[in-house]
Chains A and B, each alone.
Chain A
Amino acid sequence: MTSKYEFKKIFESIFKEYLILGAIAVLVLVTSVVQPAFLSVGNLSNVIRQFGPLIMVALGMTFVIIGGFIDLSVAGIISLVAVVTVHFIDIAGQGPALLIGLGIGLACGILNSALLLTSGALTQAEALFITYGMSLVYGALALIISGGSTKHIFWSENNTNLFEIIGSGSVGFFSTSFLIFLICLMVLYLLQNYTYAGRVMRLTGGNKTAAELCGININRSIIFIYAISGLMSAIGSIVLISRVTTASPVIGTGYETNAILAVVVGGTTLSGGKGSVMRTVLGTMLVILLSNCMNLLGVSVYLQYVLKGAILVIAIWMDNRKQS
């Protein structure tokens, strides 16, 4: 009896832990049978390039969610960084413009955390509203700076080859944006698993009161996770504008929900404390592959909305079941 119960438990655990891998495998199998071009080098290269902007934002969002918070401001940060970076190419040159963009992202993230801390907003719901408000502010700044219009990188009088390298360059089979992703992933993985800051982040997300009672400075942890989120959003924004060669003041729209979708579907617990950047990679892969496969299979955009929503609901439902 006991062994049967244990077997069931182990099966359930494997099913829950690796469901996403199963979902990816089914998606890949079905699409490659119906549409053999799916497995072509060209398509795999496309998928890797499409992966670029979202994965950066999602990796940052993973830290925020593990820390027990949420960050809706990433959409506004992406738009603001895009507009400011392209604006500064002509004024300061491409290198400094890129650094200014990264600086803006970092500053927005730190500002978000400072607002949360000074207002005493330490719950996920409060963070949701404050970061949503800040997203509107950053988005409005992007509109003001750009005058509402899209600017193309190629309109710049200065050299823009750095953006061309990021957007369409490659080293062997791998695109530059994929290599940037690998570097970011490695750094964030080490930060999460092998540093004091990473451990504190998990403790903060798990139970803030307990963490404080243990003498942990959770304020520093909150600043850390939002700074990472802001910086990763800025990197995502730069990869995005390099890819599409344009900076629209609304370019970040939708990235906040897709990033949360990727993180949660990957298996990071929405209530905080548990999760991993590696899981987010799988979650993002599923989100990107879903669009790619649906397009190749000829599924309409409306049905794609339905599928994305259903996957998010199922992921949260399963996460709650796991918690209970």
Chain B
Amino acid sequence: MKAKKIRFLSVIMIIFMIGVLSGCSKATDGTATKGNDSTSTNGTTDAPVKVAFIAQNMATEAMAFAAKEFEKYGADYGFEVIILDAKGDAQINVQAVDNAVAQGVKAIFVTPNDINAIIPSLQSAKEAGVIVGMFSSDLPEGNHDARDFFVGVNDNQAGEAAAQAFINHFPDGANIVEIGGQAGHDAQNKRHDGFNNKLEGTNIKVIDYKATQQWATDQAMAIAEDMITKYGSEIDGIFCHWDNGGTGVIQALKAAKMDNVYLVAVDGCRAGFEQVKSGEQSVTIMQNFSNMTKKSLELAKDKLDGKEVESVNFIPLDIVDLDNIDTFTAPEW
């Protein structure tokens, strides 16, 4: 009798959740795999070539968006794109590469969780005749022969661009607080290095730096609150490593009624755009995932056609502020 009641309860809960979640089904529209359209840009009706995008972690919105873009543009280059998720785990990343090769893909686009751990599996993939493209993060120097090309933004440059924004805005010097992304993450390290190297010898002073444990808005907000407590009106500007973290910084500044702090963040996502438009954020350094995706697909196609391609392909970063924001297409992600 008890077991029946519990089963009944489970069914009721599941029905309730399905009922509510089905109300959200609109949000999932358009996420189905595209790219299996067999008609290429050339108008040919050849069977699409199977390629794989191996995302470092689909739980991050940048990767989820990049996956969408691969699915969206794959067919334009005659590819059927399969998406594999490494779930933020270096070991799963390696397995995903092996699985893709086993599935007979002709090219892989890999975003690594660990740029060193992935090397042996990429070498094996290359030996098996698969074209290996690195997406967003490159392999360390001296190991570039394990891949065919790299497409991405230079996170060092992102940090440098942020520093340049501060140099331009504060010709007489300023006190800046830096709020980093996930501690130890490749992008976080490079943005931090680029930012601080560029500021060396200038009159812009980084008075404090704290990285978050994850790329989490609430953690960025908590750090901003603590820095405001510590330095108060001494803070002239804040560099946050990502736009959604910037949202938390904005909330902290609002609560402290500090509306003259110059805020620069990286990503150029929808949140960054909206915040720049509203004047709450001064600058967003935009990395264009659509262009990165298209460039990766183009290079893979060229390699398949036997053409030589550039080894390192940086997609330029756009510095978006209130003056030029209308010249950019607002991002989806």
Contacts and interface: CB of A to CB of B under 8 A. Distances in A.
A139 B17 contact: no
B251 A245 contact: yes
Interface in B211-226: 211-214, 216-218, 221-223, 225-226
Interface in A143-168: 143-150, 152, 154-155, 167-168
Contact of B64 (A139, A149, A243): A149
B210 A301 contact: yes
Given A143-B58, A246-B271, A251-B218, A301 B16 contact: no
Q: Which among A104, A139, A143, A298 has the highest number of chain B CB atoms within 10 Å?
A: A143
A282 B256 CA distance: 27
B65 interface: yes
A301 B183 contact: yes
A204 to B, nearest CB: 15
A302 B229 contact: no
A53 interface: yes
B43 interface: no
Given A114-B9, A219-B2, A243-B218, A168 B227 contact: no
A148 B64 contact: yes
Contacts of B17: 104, 107-108, 111
Interface string A49-86: 11001000000000000000000000000000001100
A240 B332 CA distance: 24
A260 B188 CA distance: 28
B22 to A, nearest CB: 10
Interface in B187-230: 208, 210-214, 216-218, 221-223, 225-230
A243 B216 CA distance: 13
A182 interface: no
Nearest to A295: B226
B64 A147 contact: yes
A245 B218 contact: no
A84 B213 contact: no
Interface residues of B, number: 61
Interface in A280-318: 291-292, 295-296, 298, 300-302, 304-305
Contacts of B60: 148, 250
A291 to B, nearest CB: 7
Interface stretch (B24-32, B102-110, B168-176): B24-32
A251 B216 contact: yes
Q: Which among B20, B30, B228 has the highest number of chain A CB atoms within 10 Å?
A: B20
A43 B230 CA distance: 9
A275 B155 CA distance: 48
B333 interface: yes
A53 B333 CA distance: 26
B227 to A, nearest CB: 7
Nearest to A110: B13
A299 to B, nearest CB: 9
Contact of B228 (A42, A118, A146): A42
Interface stretch (A5-13, A33-41, A124-132, A262-270): A33-41
Nearest to B255: A168
A244 B221 contact: yes
A176 interface: no
A296 B212 CA distance: 14
22 contacts: A38-B229, A53-B218, A88-B24, A114-B10, A118-B10, A141-B21, A144-B31, A147-B27, A147-B64, A149-B65, A168-B255, A219-B2, A219-B6, A246-B217, A248-B244, A250-B59, A253-B214, A254-B214, A295-B227, A295-B230, A296-B226, A304-B213
Given A148-B59, A291-B222, A301-B211, 8 more contacts: A38-B229, A46-B222, A246-B247, A248-B244, A295-B210, A300-B210, A301-B213, A304-B213
Interface of A: 35, 37-38, 40, 42-43, 46, 49-50, 53, 83-84, 87-88, 91, 100, 103-104, 107-108, 110-111, 114-115, 117-118, 139, 141, 143-150, 152, 154-155, 167-168, 217, 219, 223, 240, 243-246, 248-251, 253-254, 291-292, 295-296, 298, 300-302, 304-305
Interface of B: 2-3, 6-7, 9-10, 13-14, 16-17, 20-21, 23-24, 27-28, 30-31, 58-61, 63-65, 67-68, 183-184, 208, 210-214, 216-218, 221-223, 225-230, 232, 244, 247-248, 251, 254-256, 269-271, 274, 332-333
